[in-house]
Amino acid sequence: MSDDGNRSGGFWTSIPGVLTGVAALVTAVTGLYLALHQTPHPAPHDPRQSSETVPKQVRGADGFNGPMGPLERGVSYSGGDLYDRPASSAEQCVQLCRNDDRCRAITFIISQQRCWVKGSINPPQQSSDMISARKG
């Protein structure tokens, strides 16, 4: 007896073949999406730096290291959040903002060691537990 009547289309037209093809397509599309939509990662922690030794301004050889303005102790920019990340210092938070073109400001919460990256700047509020900075 011949088996020709049962195998007309081959593997790729069978249910396992179709499922394999769909899985490969989903994997490829997901990989492409993740490659194009990566979020910045925090800079490595420098144990010599703490929230107590945050300088008044983050300076480089040309005045400011990037377009960030001075750190503002006791200031919070509420709202306008793009995302938040753990951070060990305000400097680390500033680096996140420098690496993200969407960022307009940051607010670092000292007690939580958390950085809030802002896409818009609202009026500043006073908070002794926070350090903020804006792009200049």
Per-residue pLDDT reduced to its tens digit, 17-52: 888 888 888 888 777 776 676 655 454 544 444 443
Segment 109-125 shows an average pLDDT of 94
Strand partners, 85: 115
Q: Say if pTM beats, i.e. exceeds, 0.85.
A: no
